[in-house]
Amino acid sequence: MKTIEEIKAAIEAAVPGAGVEVVVNPSPCAQHSLRLDPDSALAVARFLRDDPELALDFLSNVTGVDWPDREISEKVKVARTVAKTVDGVEQQVEETVDEIRKRVEPGCLEAVYHLYSVVRKHGPVVIRMRTGNRTDRVELPSLTPVWRSGEFQEREIFDLFGIVFNGHPDLRRILMWDNFKDHPMRRDYVEPDDYEYEPTAHDAVLAKAQAHRAAAQAGAKGQEGAGAAQ
Amino acid sequence: MTASFKSPAEPKLNNLDLAPSSEPGISGDLLEVAMGPHHPSTHGVFRMDIVLDGERVIRLKPVFGYLHRNHEKIAENITYIASMPYTDRLDYICSLTNNWAYALAVEKLVGLEVPERAEYLRIILGELTRFQNHASTIGFLIQEMGASGTPLMYAFREREKILDLFESLTGSRMMCNYMRFGGCRVDPSAEWLDQVRKVVAGLPAFTDEIDRLLTSNEILMARTQGIGILPPDLAVNAGITGPMLRASGVNYDIRKIDSYGIYNRFTFRVPLGERGDVYDRYMIRLLEMRESIRILEQALKNVPGGPIVDPKSKIRGFRPKPGEAYGRIEAPKGELGFYLISDGGPNPYRYRVRPPSLVNLTILEDMCLGAAVADVVIIFGSVDIVLGEVDR
């Protein structure tokens, strides 16, 4: 089988302008992957399936991954002038100090596809795509028109992660019920604290429900207050 | 009627305006039937929304999620080893192969070597699991055709002996929780291995018995031949794996392709179907049972001694280095894969199960279109699913 670099070269030769990037996997199994540009992903997927040498006709697994916003703190050396008393005389002295700077790396949602070839009996080739962010730019092209085995798996990712697959024939919730809000597999998903509603709540559930009610009332009052201030 | 690849835009179920019946000479409305979730043939809680034109199925939408407990989310909040017992509950008929797939994925992620003896034990337990799964699947399939009792009880009689073996080794009949990263949990005694040899010696007679009882049975042939045909190109494109795929004539067995474990040391054949109908799927399972016996006989001949777990494997403070791995095995129902992403912490950052049962249902509608509603039950039965794995 071709190496990941060769596959990348083949894709770039076949689909001009396809932004393909190799993602190195440091684990011992060394299953490296290719990050595709969502705009050209469908064309690349068709190429991967139809190219006689690669012939990746079998989509095994589709996975969603959530990468929330990450706060990264870095140590930076900063030069600054400070007033110091040297030998009894006050002077302006230059010195470098460590300063911790924080920045936020924006998060995204990712879909990972594991491809194999039934004809050529090789694999896996891993391809992945990232959404623009986690809130309003969560659309990716669906690869179900190329490999039908994505049908239920992409629906599952739509359901649990909230990635919207454009071009999917039947994009509905699959495991959660239709009226369910939110996406439970996201890292920052908070389970509603009154979802265990039962008519005669007791013990831990009662405590949770009371706390929930108190918080909800406080929240309502807080909102009223804010409205009045405006 | 052969199924064909359908691309987008299916009319929704509730858009059906009293279309006229296609049966000549009969006028009538279409009938929408919710088959399940509490239907005895659905092997659990599963629903099919079927639209019928007389007796013919013209639309079928599977509805999932009744058994959903977000297994993957649970696994992200507990340590790697703590997920091992949870994997038993995926496909609860085949807990040992689930353990194996998960252990294999973690071994790929960390780079653990499995000792010789543990590899043999895995093969023995994996093939016993495959045998009992196929036996009970055949039993259930025949039960759904109306042969109430006999074949299923025969299958369960044999399964019972295998479950007894599991129980005496792992402590549990179904929730075995036996494999560990880089090996197995307990070392079996020589007596246990003798016991396995004794049981395996009885399996060919059972397979022959089932064969004589069913294979040329007229009712079985009439009910299953030419029903629920799955063409090979659609099967590959839809990611169908396991006996379903091979019944359609596609030679793809992960035991041969990846030769994970030590499968390359054993001689066995991969049975292939010709037509891809329900009968072929029944037949493939029967033939695979015979191949399982062959593998078992070879493996039991010389089980080596030695350790059963990689000394580098540790339970406490198990933190794989950042990276990811996808490990897959040929589970009795198809390709069972686990995809893990580690961020260096004690819990997996992402833990994904690739469930063969769910993906194999992708083409349920294609196989059922045009079939009689009574055939839906046996087409569905021939897919062989367990809802614990479908809904996770």
ipTM greater than 0.95, yes or no?
A: no
Residue A197: pLDDT band with limits 50, 70, 90: low
Chain B neighbors of A156, CB-CB under 8 A = 358
Chain B neighbors of A65, CB-CB under 8 A = 341, 350
Rounded CA-CA distance A191/A188 in Å is 10
Question: Is the pLDDT confidence value at A135 over 70?
Answer: yes
B337/A61 touch (CB, cutoff 8 Å), yes or no: yes
Question: Is the pLDDT confidence value at A4 over 80?
Answer: yes
The pLDDT score that the predictor gives to residue B337 is 92
Any idea of the CA torsion for B196, B201, B203, B204, to the nearest 10 degrees?
Answer: 150
Closest residue in chain A to residue B254, using alpha carbons only: A121
**Measured between CA atoms, how close is A148 to chain B, in angstroms?**
4
> Which residue has tokens 């030069």?
A79
B237/A148 touch (CB, cutoff 8 Å), yes or no: yes
Higher pLDDT, A222 or A148: A148
The pLDDT score that the predictor gives to residue B261 is 85
Residue among A63, A145, A149 whose CB faces B339 most closely:
A63
B354/A60 touch (CB, cutoff 8 Å), yes or no: yes
Residue among B250, B322, B362 whose CB faces A148 most closely:
B362
Rounded CA-CA distance B269/B286 in Å is 13
B111/A170 touch (CB, cutoff 8 Å), yes or no: no
Residue A106, preceding bond cis, omega within 30 degrees? no
Q: What is the pLDDT of residues B241-293, one digit of tens each?
A: 999 999 998 999 999 888 888 898 999 999 998 888 899 999 999 999 999 99
What Rg value do the Cα atoms of chain A yield, rounded? 26
- Edge-to-edge strand ranges of the sheet holding A122-130: A21-23, A33-35, A122-130, A108-117, A58-67
Residue among B108, B337, B392 whose CB faces A60 most closely:
B337
Tokens describing residue B43: 């092997």
A149/B239 touch (CB, cutoff 8 Å), yes or no: yes
One DSSP character per residue, B95-138 reads HHHHHHHHHHHHHHHHTPPPPHHHHHHHHHHHHHHHHHHHHHHH
The pLDDT score that the predictor gives to residue B23 is 58
As a whole number, mean pLDDT of residues A49-66 equals: 90
Tokens describing residue B285: 């399972």
A175/B391 touch (CB, cutoff 8 Å), yes or no: yes
Query: Which amino acid belongs to residue A194?
Result: D
Of the residues B68, B246, B258, B338, the best mutation for testing chain A's interface (the one with the most A CB atoms within 10 Å of its CB) is B68
Rounded CA-CA distance B181/A199 in Å is 44
As a whole number, mean pLDDT of residues A131-136 equals: 86
B65/A169 touch (CB, cutoff 8 Å), yes or no: no
DSSP 8-state code for residue B309: B
Closest residue in chain B to residue A123, using alpha carbons only: B258
The pLDDT score that the predictor gives to residue B284 is 92
Q: Which of B278, B302, B337, B253 is nearest to B137 (CA)?
A: B278
A181 touches chain B (CB under 8 A): no
Q: Which of A10-24, A33-47, A87-101, B92-106 has the lowest mean pLDDT?
A: A87-101
Rounded CA-CA distance B386/B136 in Å is 12
- Tell me whether residue B287 is exposed, middle or buried, using C-beta atoms within 10 angstroms of its C-beta: 0 to 12, 13 to 18, 19 or more: buried
Half-sphere exposure for B129 (CA within 13 Å, toward CB): 28
B322 touches chain A (CB under 8 A): yes
Of the residues B76, B250, B350, the best mutation for testing chain A's interface (the one with the most A CB atoms within 10 Å of its CB) is B350
Residue A65: pLDDT band with limits 50, 70, 90: very high
**Measured between CA atoms, how close is A37 to chain B, in angstroms?**
21
Rounded CA-CA distance B200/B133 in Å is 15
Tokens describing residue B65: 């999620």
A174 touches chain B (CB under 8 A): yes
Strand A122-130 and strand A139-141: pairing? unpaired
- Predicted model pTM: 0.84
B278 touches chain A (CB under 8 A): no
B73/A29 touch (CB, cutoff 8 Å), yes or no: no
- Tell me whether residue A143 is exposed, middle or buried, using C-beta atoms within 10 angstroms of its C-beta: 0 to 12, 13 to 18, 19 or more: buried
- Tell me whether residue B143 is exposed, middle or buried, using C-beta atoms within 10 angstroms of its C-beta: 0 to 12, 13 to 18, 19 or more: buried
The pLDDT score that the predictor gives to residue B21 is 52
**Measured between CA atoms, how close is A143 to chain B, in angstroms?**
12
Any idea of the CA torsion for B133, B139, B142, B147, to the nearest 10 degrees?
Answer: -170
Q: Give the 3-state secondary structure of residue A40.
A: helix
B75 touches chain A (CB under 8 A): no
Question: Is the pLDDT confidence value at A222 over 70?
Answer: no
Residue among B70, B321, B354 whose CB faces A27 most closely:
B321
B240/A149 touch (CB, cutoff 8 Å), yes or no: yes
One DSSP character per residue, B194-208 reads HHHHHHHHHHHHHHH
Residue among A27, A126, A148 whose CB faces B109 most closely:
A27
First to last CA, chain A: 66
State the 10-residue block means of pLDDT for chain B, 392 residues long. 40 45 63 82 83 85 89 91 91 91 92 90 93 91 83 89 92 90 90 92 92 87 87 90 91 89 90 90 92 92 87 82 91 92 91 92 88 88 89 86
**Measured between CA atoms, how close is B66 to chain A, in angstroms?**
8
- Tell me whether residue B179 is exposed, middle or buried, using C-beta atoms within 10 angstroms of its C-beta: 0 to 12, 13 to 18, 19 or more: buried
Of the residues A4, A34, A63, A189, the best mutation for testing chain B's interface (the one with the most B CB atoms within 10 Å of its CB) is A63
Main-chain phi, psi angles of B184, to 5 degrees: -130, 175
B347 touches chain A (CB under 8 A): no
B350/A26 touch (CB, cutoff 8 Å), yes or no: no
CA distances B27 to B19, B21, B24, Å, are: 10, 6, 8
B110/A27 touch (CB, cutoff 8 Å), yes or no: yes
Rounded CA-CA distance B152/B196 in Å is 22
A-contacting residues of B 28-47, CB under 8 Å? none
DSSP 8-state code for residue B372: B
